[in-house]
């Protein structure tokens, strides 16, 4: 993206405000980066925080839905298989429904069955919580991998010390 495009994008995000801007940025990152799951958690949090607020502009709605569709494709390809496709699809559809609700005027929202919104919130939260749990498990595995690597490095260093000094290492 050139400087003019970056400036226009920044201005567009500023116009969106919070949490719409957060949702849009996180969905774009989920689509474009390898850390799809944590970015989807951020995006879902933003949609859950904003869906009952003031209506999105048509431009914001279009941008968020486009980003969500790109994030959906990335999630299907990248999210750990522990998150089954039906849960992934129903959760993302629920997020899309909340974005649609977010784009409605107060008068339009008054005609939406409250149970539909409640169900969408529940499905979005289920996906969000599943993704966050997966992120936490991956973090724990990475910490364990680092601990094991550190132990291996210490053992190697001790072995090299014994070899180069010609004797037992006391330490």
- Predicted pLDDT of residue 2: 46
- Predicted pLDDT of residue 123: 97
| pTM score, whole prediction | 0.78
Contact 75, 92 (CB under 8 A): yes
Q: Please list the pLDDT of the chain residue by residue as tens digits (171 residues).
A: 444 444 444 455 555 667 899 999 999 999 987 789 999 999 999 999 998 888 999 999 999 999 999 999 999 988 888 899 999 999 999 999 999 999 999 999 999 999 999 999 999 999 999 999 999 998 999 999 999 999 999 998 888 887 777 655 555
94 half-sphere exposure, CB direction, 13 A CA radius: 23
- Predicted pLDDT of residue 146: 94
List of residues 6+ apart from 68 with CB closer than 8 A = 27, 43, 92, 95, 96, 99
- Predicted pLDDT of residue 116: 97
Candidates 93, 58, 86, 51; CA nearest to 72 is: 93
- Predicted pLDDT of residue 6: 43
- Predicted pLDDT of residue 4: 47
Contact 1, 32 (CB under 8 A): no
- Predicted pLDDT of residue 1: 41
């Amino acid at each position: 993206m050139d400087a003019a495009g970056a400036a226009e994008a920044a201005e567009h995000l500023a116009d969106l405000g919070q949490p719409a801007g957060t949702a849009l940025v996180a969905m774009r990152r989920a689509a474009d980066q390898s850390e799809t799951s944590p970015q989807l958690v951020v995006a879902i949090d933003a949609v859950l925080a904003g869906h009952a607020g003031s209506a999105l502009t048509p431009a914001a709605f279009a941008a968020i839905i486009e980003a969500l569709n790109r994030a959906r494709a990335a999630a299907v390809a990248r999210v750990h298989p522990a998150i089954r496709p039906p849960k992934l699809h129903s959760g993302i559809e629920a997020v899309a429904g909340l974005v649609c609700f977010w784009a409605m005027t107060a008068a339009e929202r008054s005609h939406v069955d409250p149970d539909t919104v409640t169900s969408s919130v529940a499905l979005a939260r289920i996906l969000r919580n599943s993704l966050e749990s997966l992120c936490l498990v991956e973090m724990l595995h990475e910490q364990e991998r680092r601990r094991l690597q550190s132990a291996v490095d210490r053992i190697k260093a001790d072995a090299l010390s014994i070899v180069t000094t010609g004797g037992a290492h006391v330490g």
